[in-house]
Amino acid sequence: MPIIDFKGAWTALITPFKPDGSVDYSGFEKNIEFQVAGGITGILPVGTTGESPALKEEEHNSVIKKAKEFTMGRCGVLAGTGSNSTLEALGYCRTAVESGIDKVLLVDCYYNGPSSLELRREYYQPVLDEYSDIKIVIYVIPGRTGTAITPADIAVLSGRYDRVIAIKEATGDIGRMTEEHSLMPDMSIMSGDDDITFEIMTNSGIGSAGAISVISNIAPLAVTGMVDALLSGDREKGKSIADKLKPLFSIVTVKARSTRVLPDGSKATVEDRFRNPLAIKTAMNGLGIPAGAPRRPLGKMTPEGIDIVRGALKKVYQESFDIFKPLEEFYGIDIEERLSDNDVWNKMTYGV
């Protein structure tokens, strides 16, 4: 296993769509330029945030190619090539390799429910065997996939292939991450949850090497500053930035309670859980950044959900304007005006 060579702040990019539902490549390029301007270490196209399960095969491949083309070597590219089909994943990996990308993110296979052993032998190993130059980041997110490769199987895999360079940890399980670090002290553990990045980067039993962030879609400079500060040992600076970003970290997933009117006229209170990338796309659309609606079956938020997102943005704008200043200047938008415009936000909800 190599000494950690995958670290820093990486953005899990959204995939912007036009009103007709097609991929907005002009907006995609603009958003990548913003990431580069913000000093991001690298970008991750077509991951969870990029709505990979909702893209057609040709769209998925095209977004990978365009990401490499648009970056022009100015930041790293980690291609999202995972699938619940090994054959499909192999195809996306081929696109990455042919595009000149040598790092890919493979999410544990979702829905099929393979065991950890099956994931290792029938998914990760075939990719590593097929592409001898490719480096892989293992993405563990059981809340989405319903399965998870174990730390032990990752250790076996990384012992046989030195091209297993990192784990994107989205389990929220501190004990598991500690076990990973104990078994593989030279393995890069990357935070896949913005709200615990500071915690696991400052935990010596985990030693996270950075983050693959959702919130850096709108705050790459700040997220990069936090991660770089923590990597250099400046905990105080890292904590200061993390505290400013905390309201944004809280809206990657949004829970909101609202009322449903039943057929008999009675009412029921329901808690909706609006999951990534709905909230970040809602925020970006509200601020005037290329995003577009998510692909179905994702849709819109309730007014209560919109209020939570809007409130978090307002709090950061009012208390820590430096976080949003690069956004305002790059896109030429008036954030205060957009946050105050009810029409902007009301049109992004189903209503009551």
From CA 293, how far away is CA 282, in angstroms rounded?
A: 8
> Residues 163-172: what's their mean pLDDT?
98
> Residues 9-32: what's their mean pLDDT?
99
> Is 194:211 a contact under the CB 8 Å cutoff?
yes
> Is 201:210 a contact under the CB 8 Å cutoff?
yes
Give the pLDDT confidence of 181-224 residue by residue, as tens digits.
999 999 999 999 999 999 999 999 999 999 999 999 999 999 99
* Global pTM value: 0.96
Domain definitions of the chain by residue range: 8-234, 254-346
> Is 198:37 a contact under the CB 8 Å cutoff?
no
Name the percent of the chain lying above pLDDT 90: 98
Give the pLDDT confidence of 330-345 residue by residue, as tens digits.
999 999 999 999 999 9
Q: How would you write 207-262 as a 3-class SS string?
A: CCCEEEECHHHCCHHHHHHHHHHHHCCCHHHHHHHHHHHHHHHCCCCEEEEEEEEC
Structure confidence at residue 351 as a pLDDT band (50, 70, 90): low
pLDDT at 2 over 80: no
> Residues 138-157: what's their mean pLDDT?
98
Name the percent of the chain lying above pLDDT 70: 98
Whether 110 is a known active-site residue: answer no
pLDDT at 1 over 50: no
> Is 59:85 a contact under the CB 8 Å cutoff?
no
Of 110, 123, 139, 317, catalytic: 139
From CA 154, how far away is CA 168, in angstroms rounded?
A: 12
Of 168, 244, 281, 317, catalytic: 168
> pLDDT averaged over the chain?
97
Whether 168 is a known active-site residue: answer yes
Say if residue 70 is exposed, middle or buried (CB neighbours under 10 Å; 0-12, 13-18, 19+): buried
In the CATH scheme, what is the code of domain 8-234?
A: 3.20.20.70
Q: Which residues of 105-141 are buried (b: 16+ CB within 10 A; e: fewer)?
A: bbbbbbebebebeebbeebbbebbeebeebbbbbbbb
Structure confidence at residue 4 as a pLDDT band (50, 70, 90): low
Give the pLDDT confidence of 270-287 residue by residue, as tens digits.
999 999 999 999 999 999
Q: How many residues would you count in the chain? A: 352
> Residues 144-161: what's their mean pLDDT?
98
